[in-house]
Every structure is written in C-alpha cells, then in structure tokens.
Amino acid sequence: MKALEDFIDVQLWEKQRQLVDLVRNNRLVACKSGHSTGKTLASAFIAVDALINNSDMKIIVVNPVWRMAMKIFVPALDNIYNELLEKLPWLPEKELGSCNWNISPCNFIKAVSSELEDVLMGYEGKQIFFICEEPSSYPKEVTDTLELYSGFDNVKILLIGNPFAFPDNPYFGRCFIDGRFSKFTISSTDSPNVKKNKDGSYRDIDPLPYPGLIGATWLNHISKQYGKNSNFWRNRVLGEF
C-alpha cells in the first residue's frame, strides 16, 4: 500500500491519523465527532488514499446538501490533488472545483448529495466505498440503501458526523450498536489547539498548531451558554449521542 502521507505533506492530527488507519483496516466504520475537528479533511484524505491504492474502486462521498459538497468537501479534495499531482504526475487531471475525479470508469471519486433520495442506487463494481458525511440528516431512503449495501463484502462504508439521533431515522445511532461496525469518537475537547485549565475552562495553545480546528473561545462560549450537562455540549462538543 502506498500511504498517501508518504507523498504529500497534509498535516493530520492524532485523531485524524487514527481514523485513517481504522478505515484502511476495516470495511465498515462509524465515527461520531464534535464540531470542527477536521472531519471533512479526513474524509477527503481517506477518499484519495483509497483512490490511489485501489485500481478498481468507486468512491462516492455523500454530503447532506449539495452546498456542503461544493463549498467544503471539493476544496479539501482539490488541495490534496494539487499537492499530489507534483509527486504523481501520471494521475489524470482533475478539473478544480469539480465534484468528480476520474482515473478510469471503475476508479473515481464522486461527490453527491443525499438531497436526492435515489442518489446511491445502481452502483456496481469490484469495490465500492461510500464515505458519508453527517449521516444523521440523511433521508430514510438513503440510509435504507446504505443498510442494503453494508451486507456486501465488496462495499466499504465510512459514516462520519455529529451524533444527532432523529426519531424518524436513527440509522447513524444504530450503527454504534451494530457489531459489524468499527467505532470511533472524536471530541472537540481533544483538539490539539487547546489545553484544559484547572477550573475546567480551556485555553489556546500559542501559536495554534492547527489553525483550522476548534479553539478555546468556542469551547468556553458553549460551556457558558449551554452548560456541560446539556445535550448541546454532549452532541456538538463531546461527539456523543
């Protein structure tokens, strides 16, 4: 296996690296996470890592809304592509800003939106990999399709997002009691940008080692606004249902 980190200098923090390794070694992975922990960068990294290591893998990245795909995931994918192209010039060109990166008809990354209920229908091939961002908000038709795909040995699935359990579609939560799934949790309080004070508040590390990740200001605000016993703190900060 050609580890992607051997080719490019994308700065992953400890929890992101652990998630990458977990996905490499397991077919079904469910990751619940707090706010602004680098989920999208991890998803893009995992997608490209799978692309360059599997010549017959179709990688479909599912976002809850199209706007999220184009404004968050695609730029993260483009940044990795730009750096990787310098090291692997044989890679087919990707149009920057495009939701597709095609190496061959059976080897590609495609970003889609769960706003279309049949968006996952009809995928066939030797290897299929669904990377699902924020699956708590998917319509039941989409998660029913994922449940169907999860029974096939040639299909990998990564579910990653904030752990909201909607009564009308508890699919994401159910995956954490499904023995087939490897489980992982990333709390915002794990952020390498912060240290915890003795009084329970947080302070930033100066300079911030990972400027794009959560910092102390937001953690302290949410702690004061909602309290650490609130559902908001549990879901959005600790990454727990």
Q: pLDDT per residue over 20-30, tens digit each?
A: 999 999 999 99
Decide: 91 and 163 in contact? Cβ < 8 Å.
no
In degrees, rounded to 5, the angle at the alpha carbon of residue 43 between the alpha carbons of residues 104 and 4 is: 65
Could you give the angle at the alpha carbon of 170 between the alpha carbons of 164 and 172, nearest 5°?
65
Asked if residue 163 and residue 69 are part of one domain, the reply reads: yes
Q: What is the pLDDT of residue 87?
A: 82
Q: What is the pLDDT of residue 117?
A: 86
Q: Which domain holds residue 133?
A: 11-186
Of 186, 203, 218, the position where a domain reaches its end is 186
Mean pLDDT for the stretch of residues 94-112: 92
Q: Select the more confidently predicted residue: 164 or 69.
A: 69
- Encode pLDDT of 50-77 as tens digits: 998 888 999 999 999 999 899 999 999 9
Half-sphere exposure of residue 35, counting CA atoms within 13 Å on the CB side?
Answer: 12
Q: What's the Cα-to-Cα distance from 178 to each of 17, 30, 54, 116, 133, rounded to whole Å?
A: 24, 10, 27, 26, 19
Phi first, then psi: what are they for 64, rounded to 5°?
Answer: -65, -30
Asked if 198 and 168 sit in the same domain, the reply is: no
pLDDT attached to residue 66: 92
For 164-186, what is the mean pLDDT? 89
pLDDT (0 to 100) of residue 96: 87
| Same domain assignment for residues 77 and 93 | yes
Label residue 183 exposed, middle or buried (CB < 10 Å: 0-12, 13-18, 19+).
middle
* CA atoms of 129 and 57, how far apart (whole Å): 7
Q: What is the mean pLDDT of residues 40-55?
A: 93
**Looking at 84-88, 147-151, 166-170, 205-209, which range is the least confident one?**
166-170
Domain count, the chain: 2
Pair of tokens at residue 114: 């769960």
Q: Are residues 161 and 58 in the same domain?
A: yes
